[in-house]
């Protein structure tokens, strides 16, 4: 039998027989028992494929296995065996279809029963709660609330959302009615009704002990569990209608006058036994009495003395900070500039005769380039140690371009000893230079205090130029006038001096108020007493409100930016290999593959985050207020020491780069920077340094489960702050000046009334 009818073959395939099984059946139907090899030879199938198909036929009990002449052979059990298997298969399929039909009929019956059950809907989490509120709002009907007030509006986690929700509700014209407990928080909640487009009724918490918010809107009854942040909607018309009737009954009971209300009066905060003087009157009268008493003179004198002491303390602290900033600045210049010099070139410059070498001109040109790129730098030169510990010797001087020509280096209009050029091999006395005397110049640093020599008084920064073996070939020295510290300090301290001046003027006016002749000359200008009183209250209120809005706006802006920066830092920090940072200690390490890899990573972080100004890595030092740079996204050995990073068109200290090991002084009080070595954090307030004014986010970088550094991400907020201040400053000035004039007016009025 070579083949089966196509209809039967198709049926067998649908019944679960494979094509290989049908091939075997065709051969075995010829009536001869065969081995797998014989079947394979006749069908062209592999023995492996035939073996798998044969096992299935054996399981179906259609084929038998026989031992013939010491060989396993397979034969068809009988033709009826196939029919029996087919009948069994049909019976099983029929039973399966019957069960499916029964299941479907049961499902339909369940649906019919569920049509009479209420529909439930659930929400979880803060976002889920917001979605639930908005879904109720979309129903477009009056909202009835049972609301247990447990926090003030300011402490409510959904505070910002509720503001937007109220605005949307007000815009849709949906009024809300609230039943809340008669508690201090409840009464405070009720006091805001006119501003929130709602009406609130206070009830006794003992009589109506609801513990979670319930809202009735249309055919929906909603339950809000604010503690667990879960919401449940019950869409059941009968339930919603019953709750609405009960709500309106309570509402009517507590809003209409009836005999029952007299039996259950609303609880008051207190029952005064005598007339209470308004707070406004008590406050203003107390201030007036104080200003016109002799006691105020002593108070102002004490405040003036205290202000002077505080101002002087701030002056000294400001000077210390500026000194440290200048030290860091010149150290950075020296550290980065030292990378530009070749130790081989410097080793050729040993005596005055070497000024004719091409290496000398190259070095001098490099020194002048460093000075020209940095404002306020006076002298830039190279020196090296000698066998005499009290002296160093010059290698090259930026001013000695032409060593045989006199140059007025200090620009004082005369040539004298202070204009001596530092030629190669010339001795240099290091007396008073604490860093050089102590031999602490193997890393970039600066003198801790100013020193004086024949050239003048300076603060100097140093950085070693090392050869291929790590030996110090020379020191690059950068000088700044010591007077620069005083000049910068005076410029930054001018606002405090103005404060002292205005404070003194105010005290003078207070004393002048007792001068009758002065008062008479001024009183004629200010005769509208009632107008001035009303204006005074308006000024005070406007000033407080304006200042409050300013602080709140500023706080929100700082928190928003700070949290974003912290998120960026926390996400990026794990991508930095802490082990590689251990080998980055000195400026020369900028050429290492580890530095270059991290440098590229920091720039990638900045490029992928809008408005990020600086990205860099800092590590701790032995001084808890001093840190050192490890890697900076703007600093590399192949980049200029000064480039316009802040895009202001000016190359100044705000554009300086920093090399590994350069110190950074953290002068901020209550700074969160140290927390950045433990966990992600951000600054709650702005801080300023030579690079600008910023908010920063921090995150620790770990190596072997230990924080070895911190990644810092800075956003410059100078423009944002300027915009914010420009909005509010004119109002502050106007209200402050007007308020001061009003104070003077009241002083004069009181003085004249006594005379």
Q: What is the pLDDT of residues 350-388, one digit of tens each?
A: 888 888 889 999 898 888 877 776 667 789 999 999 988
More confident residue, 464 or 304: 464
- Residue found under tokens 């449940």: 232
- Supply the CATH classification number for the domain 6-88: 1.10.10.10
Would you place residue 539 in the very low, low, confident or very high pLDDT band (cuts 50, 70, 90)? low
pTM, to two decimals = 0.37
What is the pLDDT at residue 522? Answer: 40
Residue 79 backbone phi and psi in degrees, to 5: -65, -30
Question: What pLDDT, in 10s, does the model give residues 212-265?
Answer: 999 999 999 999 998 889 999 998 888 889 889 989 888 888 876 444 333 333
What residue spans define the domains of the chain? 6-88, 119-263, 318-488, 551-724
Question: What pLDDT, in 10s, does the model give residues 104-117?
Answer: 667 666 655 555 56
Report how far residue 586's alpha carbon sits from residue 594's, in angstroms, rounded to the nearest whole number.
13
- Secondary structure class of 25 (helix, strand, coil): helix
CATH architecture of 119-263: 2-Layer Sandwich (3.30)
pLDDT (average), residues 425-431: 89
Shared fold status for 318-488 and 551-724: yes
Instruction: Pick from 79-83, 106-110, 504-508, 582-586 the range whose average pLDDT is largest.
Output: 582-586
pLDDT (average), residues 547-563: 67
What is the pLDDT at residue 145? Answer: 93
Instruction: Pick from 288-297, 334-343, 500-509, 552-561 the range whose average pLDDT is largest.
Output: 334-343
Residue 698 backbone phi and psi in degrees, to 5: -130, 155
Would you place residue 11 in the very low, low, confident or very high pLDDT band (cuts 50, 70, 90)? confident
Give buried/exposed letters for 616-629 (b at 16+ CB in 10 A, else e). bbbbeeeeeeebbb
Average pLDDT, the chain: 76
What is the pLDDT at residue 259? Answer: 40
Q: What is the CA radius of gyration of the chain?
A: 44
* pLDDT(459) > 80: yes
Lowest model confidence (mean pLDDT) among 324-338, 372-386, 690-704: 324-338
What is the pLDDT at residue 276? Answer: 37
Q: 629 - beta bridge partners? A: 618
Give Cα separations from 253 to 240, 259, 262 (angstroms): 20, 10, 12
More confident residue, 296 or 196: 196
- Secondary structure class of 422 (helix, strand, coil): coil
Instruction: Retrieve residue 426's tokens.
Output: 């010339």
Report how far residue 395's alpha carbon sits from residue 362's, in angstroms, rounded to the nearest whole number.
12
Lowest model confidence (mean pLDDT) among 11-20, 90-99, 103-112: 103-112
Q: 708 with 585: CB under 8 angstroms?
A: no
- Residue found under tokens 């709140």: 552
N residues, the chain: 755
Task: Please give the distance of CA 415 from its chain centroid, rounded to a whole number.
Answer: 56
What CATH superfamily is the domain 318-488? PAS domain (3.30.450.20)
E strand map for 443-559? 445-446, 451-453, 456-466, 472-481
What does DSSP say about strands 63-68 and 71-76: parallel, antiparallel, or unpaired?
antiparallel
Report how far residue 672's alpha carbon sits from residue 691's, in angstroms, rounded to the nearest whole number.
19
Would you place residue 729 in the very low, low, confident or very high pLDDT band (cuts 50, 70, 90)? low
What is the pLDDT at residue 745? Answer: 60
Assess if CATH 3.30.450.20 describes domain 551-724: yes
E strand map for 298-426? 379-385, 391-397
What is the pLDDT at residue 213? Answer: 92
Give Cα separations from 112 to 99, 109, 234 (angstroms): 20, 5, 19
Give Cα separations from 432 to 453, 477, 483, 486 (angstroms): 8, 15, 17, 20
Instruction: Retrieve residue 331's tokens.
Output: 């150290």
Report how far residue 103's alpha carbon sits from residue 717's, in angstroms, rounded to the nearest whole number.
67
């Amino acid at each position: 039998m070579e083949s089966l009818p196509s209809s039967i073959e198709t049926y067998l395939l649908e019944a679960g027989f494979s094509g290989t099984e049908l091939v075997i059946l065709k051969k075995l139907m010829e009536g001869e028992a065969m081995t797998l090899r014989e079947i394979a030879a006749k069908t062209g199938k592999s023995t492996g494929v035939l073996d798998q198909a044969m096992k299935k036929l054996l399981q179906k009990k259609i084929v038998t296995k026989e031992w013939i002449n010491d060989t396993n052979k397979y034969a068809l059990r009988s033709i009826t065996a196939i029919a029996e298997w087919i009948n069994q298969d049909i019976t099983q399929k029929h039973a399966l279809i019957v069960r499916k039909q029964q299941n479907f009929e049961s499902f339909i019956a369940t649906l019919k029963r569920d049509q009479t059950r209420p529909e439930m809907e659930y929400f979880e989490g803060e976002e889920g709660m917001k979605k639930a509120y908005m879904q109720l709002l979309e129903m477009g009907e009056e909202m009835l609330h049972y609301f247990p007030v447990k926090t003030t509006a300011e402490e409510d986690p959904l505070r910002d959302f509720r503001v937007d929700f109220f605005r949307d509700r007000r815009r849709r014209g949906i009024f809300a009615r609230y039943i809340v407990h008669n508690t201090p928080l409840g009464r405070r909640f009720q006091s805001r009704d006119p501003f929130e487009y709602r009406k609130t009724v206070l009830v006794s918490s003992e009589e109506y002990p609801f513990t979670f918010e319930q809202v009735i809107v249309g055919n929906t009854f909603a339950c809000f569990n604010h503690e667990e942040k879960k919401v449940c909607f019950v869409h059941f018309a009968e339930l919603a209608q019953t709750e609405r009737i009960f709500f309106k009954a309570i509402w009517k009971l507590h809003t209409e006058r009836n005999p029952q209300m007299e039996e259950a009066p609303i609880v008051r905060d207190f029952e005064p036994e005598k007339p209470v003087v308004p707070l406004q009157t008590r406050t203003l009268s107390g201030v007036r009495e104080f200003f016109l008493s002799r006691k105020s003179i002593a108070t102002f004198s004490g405040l003036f003395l205290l202000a002077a002491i505080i101002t002087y303390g701030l002056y000294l602290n400001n000077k210390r900070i500026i000194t440290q900033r200048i030290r860091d600045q010149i150290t950075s210049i020296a550290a980065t500039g030292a990378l530009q010099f070749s130790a081989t070139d410097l080793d050729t410059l040993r005596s005055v005769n070497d000024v004719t070498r091409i290496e000398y001109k190259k070095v001098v040109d490099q020194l002048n380039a460093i000075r020209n790129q940095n404002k306020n730098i006076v002298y830039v030169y190279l020196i090296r140690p000698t066998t005499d510990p009290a002296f160093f010797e010059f290698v090259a001087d930026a001013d000695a371009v032409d060593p045989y020509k006199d140059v007025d280096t200090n620009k004082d209009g005369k040539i004298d000893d202070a204009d001596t050029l530092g030629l190669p091999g010339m001795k240099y006395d290091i007396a008073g230079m604490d860093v050089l005397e102590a031999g602490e110049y193997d890393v970039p640093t600066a003198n801790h205090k100013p020193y004086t020599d024949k050239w003048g008084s300076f603060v100097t920064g140093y950085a070693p130029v090392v050869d291929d073996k790590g030996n110090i070939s020379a020191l690059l020295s950068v000088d700044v006038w010591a007077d620069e510290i005083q000049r910068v300090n005076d410029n930054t301290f001018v606002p405090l001096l103005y404060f002292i001046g205005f404070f003194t003027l105010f005290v003078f006016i207070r004393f002048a108020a007792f001068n009758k002749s002065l008062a008479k000359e001024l009183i004629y200008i200010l005769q509208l007493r009632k107008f001035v009183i009303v204006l005074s209250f308006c000024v005070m209120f406007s000033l407080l409100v304006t200042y409050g809005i300013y602080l709140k706006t500023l706080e929100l802006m700082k928190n928003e930016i700070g949290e974003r920066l912290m998120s960026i830092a926390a996400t990026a920090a794990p991508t930095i290999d802490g082990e590689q940072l251990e080998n980055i200690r000195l400026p020369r390490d900028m050429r290492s593959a580890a530095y270059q890899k991290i440098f590229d990573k920091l720039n990638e972080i900045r490029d992928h985050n809008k408005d990020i100004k600086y990205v860099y890595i800092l590590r701790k030092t032995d001084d808890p207020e001093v840190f050192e740079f490890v890697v900076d996204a703007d600093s590399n050995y192949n980049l200029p020491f000064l480039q316009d990073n802040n895009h202001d068109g000016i190359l100044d200290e705000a554009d300086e780069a920093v090399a590994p090991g350069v110190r950074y002084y953290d002068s901020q009080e209550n700074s969160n920077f140290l927390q950045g070595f433990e966990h992600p954090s951000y600054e709650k307030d702005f801080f300023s340094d030579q690079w600008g004014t910023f908010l920063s986010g921090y995150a620790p970088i770990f190596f072997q489960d230990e924080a070895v550094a911190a990644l810092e991400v800075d956003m410059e907020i100078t423009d944002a702050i300027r915009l914010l201040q420009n909005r509010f400053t004119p109002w502050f000035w106007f209200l402050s000046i007007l308020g001061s004039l009003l104070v003077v007016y009241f002083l004069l009025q009181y003085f004249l009334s006594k005379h």
